[in-house]
Amino acid sequence: MRVHRNNAPDGELAPGAFRDIGRGMSTDWQKYSTAEETRARAGVPQKNGVTCMVAGGVRSCGLLVEHDPIPVNRAHTEIVGIKSTEVRFKLLRLARWVMPLELNQSI
Amino acid sequence: MAAQPLFETYAENTSGAPCWDLCIGESHPPYHEADRSRKTVSFGLLSEFWLSQFYLWGCLRMPSGVTTLEIPRAKTLQAFRNAYAVWVTALETTSNECPRAAEGPRKETWTVSGQESAWRKWVDAGSLNELENAIVKSEWLLTLEDDWDDEGAQKYSRETLDRALLFLKNHMQWAREKNGAALAVPRILPGPNGSIDLHWKSPAYEVLLNIPPAPALASFYGDDYGNIRIQGTLDPSAFNLGVLSWLIRR
């Protein structure tokens, strides 16, 4: 999952990163996308890092993990369900950086 | 006088107003008769801290007596620190007397205009500095415009941020008054849909509290990394003992 730098002040992931955009929270299935490719799909890639979460852990939060390939992204996956305070708390515990933010970037 | 603060402590007077003591000069409290021969200045900073404003009064012990002055408010403790040097200069050239004069050695009590006041317990000044710093730092949230994450995220209002900060300030005060304890200072973060997240994480516990725009209730969830959890909703303008008991620094 891409994380914009404003959702990770000082490089530390913030729970606000876990929010819905449209139907759900957009992520990429690791099977079909590298971290670099995920980041490259951002509007301004240099402003983003990439995190990963184990799908089973996400489902244990009461969320649905739905592979939803789109023409420009075979890896696209939606995490569907209410992103309550409790859920965001738990997702924050699950998430790990696989491509940390580049903190010294001037954009 | 080339003044340097000797030490800084924090206390309260009986009116409940938080006070900072900034002692400048060649000696420090408790005062002794010998101090009267020196230009020793003690500032009692009566803080309207919860409104993020400070003003100060000073007790100047000079051979001729005791004098106090009121100084215009400083918005932050740092601004007060920056301003004190100018204030000392002004004191040296001023000999005003005003009703708010402190008398006697400042050990247990001091008297102002015939009203006896007593210092309360000392509180770790560091925790208030930490909160002040976090509040100042949180202003960056108001610089975020709509679409600040390039994915359509909503910007934040001053009212919502102030709602969150008021919750913090109130609970810090209540923690101090009711438990004599310092409240841990959280990260103040951008939340979803214009809300503000307060996130505490310590070796003993982790708590996330989300404060949305008014009038919606805040929601919270936390645990001790084991079997004890806390969750629910609250009115951020009201005192919440349950949440407070988790947030006390430990």
CA pair distance B17, B117, nearest whole angstrom: 11
pLDDT of residue B135: 86
Write down the residue that tokens 């006070």 correspond to.
B19
- Percent above pLDDT 70 for chain B: 45
Asked if A52 reaches chain B (Cβ–Cβ under 8 Å), the answer is no
Residue A55 in 3-state DSSP?
helix
- Continuous H helices in chain A: 35-40, 55-59, 85-94
Are B225 and B111 found together in one domain?
Answer: no
Which residues fall within 8 angstroms of residue B165, CB to CB, at 6 or more apart? Answer: B135, B138, B188
Q: Where in the sequence is the domain holding B20, given as residue range(s)?
A: 5-118
Locate the chain B residue with the closest alpha carbon to A25.
Answer: B151
Write out chain A residues lying below 8 Å of B187, CB-based: 9, 12, 14
User: Residues B123, B180: contact at Cβ < 8 Å?
Assistant: yes
Interface test with A, best of B138, B145, B149 (most A CBs within 10 A): B149
CA B32 to chain CA mean position, Å:
30
Report the DSSP beta bridge partners of residue B188. B198
With an 8 Å Cβ cutoff, are A85 and B199 in contact?
no
List of chain B residues whose C-beta atoms are within 8 Å of the C-beta of residue A84: 219, 221
Please report the ipTM that was assigned to this predicted complex: 0.93
Q: How far is A89 from chain B (nearest CA, A)?
A: 6
Are B85 and B178 in the same domain? no
Q: Which pLDDT value is given to residue B211?
A: 97
pLDDT in tens, B160-205: 999 999 898 888 777 766 666 677 889 999 999 999 999 999 888 9
Q: Which helix (H) or strand (E) holds B40?
A: strand B40-48
Q: Which residue has the tokens 């909703």?
A: B233
pLDDT tens by residue, B4-49: 333 333 333 344 443 434 433 333 333 333 333 333 334 443 333 3
B203 and B227 in a single domain? The answer is yes
User: What does the pLDDT read at residue B184?
Assistant: 83
Domain's final residue, options B60, B89, B118: B118
Q: Are residues B214 and B129 in the same domain?
A: yes
Residues of chain B in contact with residue A22, where contact means CB-CB under 8 angstroms, are none
B47, B19 Cβ separation under 8 angstroms? yes
Kindly state whether residues B172 and B205 are assigned to the same domain.
yes
Of the partner residues A21, A44, A85, the one whose CB lies closest to the CB of residue B219 = A85
- A6·B148 Cβ contact <8 A: yes
Helix B125-137 × helix B158-179 angle, to 10°: 170
| Span A26-51, pLDDT tens digits | 999 999 999 999 999 998 999 999 99
C-alpha to C-alpha distances, B136 to A54, B74, B78, B143, B166, nearest whole angstrom? 37, 14, 11, 13, 13
pLDDT tens-digit profile of B81-134?
A: 454 443 333 333 233 332 233 333 333 333 333 333 333 333 344 455 677 788
Whether residue B21 is found in the same domain as residue B51:
yes
Which tokens sit at B15? 């009116």
pTM of the shown model: 0.66
- C-alpha distance from A15 to closest chain B C-alpha (Å): 7
Which of these three, B70, B90, B118, is where a domain ends?
Answer: B118
Domain ranges of chain A: 2-99
Rounded Cα–Cα distance for residues A49 and A45 (Å): 8
The answer on B182 and B98 residing in a single domain is no
Together in a domain, B130 and B154: yes
Rounded Cα–Cα distance for residues B79 and B76 (Å): 5
Last residue of a domain, one of B65, B98, B118: B118
Nearest chain B CA: its distance from A49 CA (Å): 12
What confidence score (pLDDT) does residue B249 get? 54
Are residue B113 and residue B180 in the same domain, yes or no?
Answer: no
Inter-residue contact B87 to B71 (CB < 8 Å): yes
Considering the domain architecture, whether residues B217 and B134 belong to the same structural domain is answered as yes
User: Do residue B60 and residue B155 come from a single domain?
Assistant: no
Hey, is the C-beta of A88 within 8 angstroms of any chain B C-beta? Answer: yes
DSSP string, B124-149: -HHHHHHHHHHHHHGGGGGGPPTTTT
